[in-house]
Structure 1
Amino acid sequence: MTVSAGPESAVRLAFDAAPALGGELIALRRALHAGPELGLELPATQARVLDAIAGLGLEVSLGRRTSSIVAVLRGGGADDGHRPSVLLRADMDALPIVERTGLPFASTNGAMHACGHDLHTAGLVGAARLLAAARAELDGDVIFMFQPGEEGHDGAAVMLEEGVLEAAGEPPVAAYGLHVTSELPSGLFTNRPGAYMAAISELGVIVHGKGGHSSRPHQALDPVQVAAEIVTALQSYVTRRFDVFDPVVLTVGRFQAGSAPNVIPAEAEFTAVIRSFSDVVGVQLAHGLPRLVRGIAEAHGLSADVVFSPRLPVTVNDAAEAGFWARTAAGLFGSDRYESMAQPRMSSEDFSRVLQRVPGSYGHLGAGMPDLAPGERAPLHSAEARFDDGVLADHALFLASLAADRLAESARSWRRLES
């Protein structure tokens, strides 16, 4: 299937209001940034979003197990025999990071929007406002998916279980998402067909030894030394056992042992995350990593408990929808503001679960601060990450255009079939 991208004149006229929305969206983003919330329960964030979309005539439903929001906009131009929908998604949760940006609207509650979800939320609110203004011309419905719990809580899975894909009736014909990044130049759009972001799994390890006095290690079985050896061996394993063109990245983000420097503890434990792109590699990791860990522990006379847990699948962009996504960005803002990524990103995303069930595309929008050189821009998940919220008007216009033009394409295809 080829999906075209082109302006629908009546709808585009309604979208001329996008630049004027910029100030309101920036104000909303900064309010969200100052009051970040974690996980699946974001009551204050939910309340702000509900207030921001009030009066738009949306069919709103709230999550039962999370503070999610699903809002459906009914378009007035749909054929009675064909009423497609398109899903647009924004994640709303923050990270447990103490902010160090020095911004006047910086968070002070120990959490931080260090991944730009405050911009995602404001951008989707803006798209809802633009599409509501164009309601009469829309050839179908739009589902707005405001999602909690993307940062390690699998909020997308919860919303899928609660029926987000059925919110408008039939499942959507396409689903789209957009992630800002502090590392790319402000205003640059990127995506690619196929694998776009990595699958993620977690490896939990507890090494059991025998405690003792730090001056007499020969009387103990030191789990710290063995766990450290395992960490090093894991890095060697992923670089020597897997094709460099089907890559694996393993990072140990937590390592804990002991209570005093002069005591050899009885246990040491660590947790690693592993990212990959293929099912074959995923199977090999699930079998090979636990075997390696246990083997090293046993070689030293210790034992290890190992749990390998797949967390999220690969984020895969449908080829036709990724092409439509790219043409929409270039058509709206110029070819110099779109780049196709040569390689996928190693970060992971629970929107992958939506794209397993609905064809669609995910991509990034640069929001790097213009006053900083590329090497000075703090990355996502940094306590110093700063974002140019001047991109929000374009963010909203892009999402709204994806939905409106994809509905129009679906209507054209339907009419061709009917004729």
Structure 2
Amino acid sequence: MPDHAAPEFPGLRDAAHAVQPRTVALRRSLHRNPELGLRLPLTQAAVLSELSDLPIKTHTGRTCGSVVGVLEGDRPGPTVLLRADMDALPLTEASGLPYASTVDGVMHACGHDTHAAMLASAARLLVDRRSDLAGRVLFMFQPGEEGLHGARYMIDEGLLDASGPAGVPSLAYALHISATMPSGTVQTRPGPLMAAHDSLRVTVHGRGGHASAPHDALDPVPAAAAMVGALQTMLTRRISAHEPAVITVAQLRAGTTGNVIPETAFLEATIRTLSDSTRAYLCEQAQLCCQYTAAAYGCSASVRIDPGYPVTSNDTDAAARIDGLAASVLGPSRVTPMNSPIMGSEDFSYVLARVPGALAFLGGCPPHLDPDSAAPNHSNRVQFDEAAMVDGVAMYAALALDALR
């Protein structure tokens, strides 16, 4: 709990419950019609339609399918940014829900449909409370969170600049639903919350030949296989045990049939770190490890590291505000401690690198499931408790009301 007393907003959760039919309707519409990537025409149109009857100035992206909304309060003051992501994942849904995806191979498996619906309904609550807003609310509906740097596209278009739609925000918040937390609970922490992510891609070059005569060829497969173990050993021998870091080789492929030694082998890995210094050092060491391992087998290696999202780091005061507001609006029992960061990544990190703020997790495990065994985010069987969206709507609105008191 923060040192300052958290303000209370009586009736806010009741108001969120009153708009729940709208929240659910928008969420289910988005869930049935998921879209991938940076261009989300159906999703963008649905969000714009939901905001169309409100006194919110909306703008759409030039380089991506974003929606930006600005709500002016009754008095001058700072700007607070609230973010929701909108894109889906390339999965075939197996949840069994009556409103399951109607698009083959595409599914809202990370809850971004709930985020967009919650933020749209929070905008409705804030419009009804404009007289309590000294400043403005900047609503950030972003595409391309799933690995495509959608937040960066919006920032490059001027979202956070003085010349942007609402000027420079002084605070920024986001909520992310979790299928493995009890429904309606809130969890966050100060400092590093989620990891930086980089992709390691390696092509091992050998010389092909007949599988019966490996001495006449230069087999890249043993070299690639050795790299898997060498990368793990390098991690434990180059990075302090007190510094969180992960390397996972998630893809390894070579060859076309059992009696041919291929000319090349390929592996792909993810690198996760929680500090800029460890990130830079581990990427450098991973490249050297792969090149020298290949050389030990007489092969060569082409190594490419594609930078992903930076570390998602919460401002200490902003994280404390979330805990205090959750205790006030939802109840003290809804706030659960988060002792350690998680090694997933988030492109809200781009916003938090420029604006003080915080991201928090909202529990969304359906009550008939056990959070410890429920299908997690990114599973094609994942389910989210829609009742938790009432709490998310109330929290989004409370964060803005608190910032613009």
Q: Is the 8 A contact 2:192 2:311 kept in 1?
A: yes
Counterpart residue identity of residue 66, structure 2:
S
User: Distance in 2 between the 1:32 and 1:244 partners?
Assistant: 43
User: Distance in 1 between the 2:335 and 2:61 partners?
Assistant: 35
Q: Which residue is 1:95 aligned to?
A: 89
Q: Which residue is 1:293 aligned to?
A: 290
Shift of 1:384: 1.1
Q: Which residue is 2:305 aligned to?
A: 308
Q: Is the 8 A contact 2:13 2:390 kept in 1?
A: no
User: Distance in 1 between the 2:3 and 2:152 partners?
Assistant: 29
Are 1:162 and 2:160 counterparts? Answer: no
Are 1:141 and 2:136 counterparts? Answer: yes
* Aligned with residue 100 of structure 2, among 99, 106, 109: 106
Q: Secondary structure at the match of 2:84?
A: strand
Q: Which residue is 2:194 aligned to?
A: 197
Q: Which residue is 2:386 aligned to?
A: 389
Are 1:121 and 2:122 counterparts? Answer: no
Q: After alignment, is 291-300 or 131-140 more displaced?
A: 131-140
Dislocated runs of 4+, deviation >6 Å: none
Counterpart residue identity of residue 89, structure 1:
R
Q: What's the CA shift string for 1:122-143, capped at 9, x where partnerless?
A: 1111111100111122111000
User: Distance in 2 between the 1:201 and 1:142 partners?
Assistant: 33
Q: How does 1:9-408 map to 2 (within 5 A)?
A: 12=10, 16-76=14-74, 78-79=75-76, 83-109=77-103, 110-166=105-161, 167-408=164-405
User: Distance in 2 between the 1:290 and 1:64 partners?
Assistant: 36
Q: Secondary structure at the match of 2:121?
A: helix
User: Distance in 2 between the 1:375 and 1:323 partners?
Assistant: 26
User: Distance in 2 between the 1:329 and 1:146 partners?
Assistant: 23
User: Distance in 2 between the 1:181 and 1:398 partners?
Assistant: 15
Give the paired residue count. Answer: 401
Q: Is the 8 A contact 2:138 2:166 kept in 1?
A: no
Counterpart residue identity of residue 290, structure 1:
Q
Counterpart residue identity of residue 97, structure 1:
L
Shift of 1:286: 2.2
User: Distance in 1 between the 2:357 and 2:4 partners?
Assistant: 11
Shift of 1:310: 2.4
User: Distance in 2 between the 1:320 and 1:346 partners?
Assistant: 22
Q: What's the CA shift string for 1:220-245, capped at 9, x where partnerless?
A: 11112211110121122223322222
Q: Secondary structure at the match of 1:340?
A: coil
Q: Secondary structure at the match of 2:333?
A: helix
Q: What's the CA shift string for 1:17-70, capped at 9, x where partnerless?
A: 211111221121111111110000000000111111111111110000111000
Q: Secondary structure at the match of 1:236?
A: helix
User: Distance in 2 between the 1:371 and 1:24 partners?
Assistant: 24
User: Distance in 2 between the 1:14 and 1:328 partners?
Assistant: 12
Counterpart residue identity of residue 331, structure 1:
S
Alpha-carbon spacing, 1:233–1:108, altered in 2? closer, same or farther (3 Å): farther
Q: Is the 8 A contact 2:39 2:64 kept in 1?
A: yes
Q: Is the 8 A contact 1:14 1:133 kept in 2?
A: no
Shift of 1:354: 0.3
Alpha-carbon spacing, 1:169–1:2, altered in 2? closer, same or farther (3 Å): farther
Shift of 1:283: 2.1
Q: Is the 8 A contact 2:136 2:166 kept in 1?
A: no
TM-score normalised over the length of structure 2: 0.96
Q: Is the 8 A contact 1:316 1:352 kept in 2?
A: yes
Alpha-carbon spacing, 1:254–1:17, altered in 2? closer, same or farther (3 Å): same
Q: Which residue is 1:412 aligned to?
A: none
Shift of 1:168: 4.3
Determine which structure has the larger helix proportion and give its number. 1
Are 1:7 and 2:8 counterparts? Answer: yes
Counterpart residue identity of residue 105, structure 1:
Y
User: Structure 1 regions of 5+ residues with no counterpart?
Assistant: 409-419
Q: What's the CA shift string for 1:5-24, capped at 9, x where partnerless?
A: 3025xxx5576421111122
Report the identity percentage.
47
Q: Is the 8 A contact 1:276 1:282 kept in 2?
A: yes
Counterpart residue identity of residue 314, structure 1:
V
Q: After alignment, is 263-272 or 248-257 more displaced?
A: 248-257
Q: Is the 8 A contact 1:141 1:168 kept in 2?
A: no
Alpha-carbon spacing, 1:56–1:15, altered in 2? closer, same or farther (3 Å): farther
Counterpart residue identity of residue 6, structure 1:
P
Q: Secondary structure at the match of 1:221?
A: coil
Counterpart residue identity of residue 335, structure 2:
Y
TM-score normalised over the length of structure 1: 0.92
Counterpart residue identity of residue 127, structure 1:
A
Counterpart residue identity of residue 113, structure 2:
D
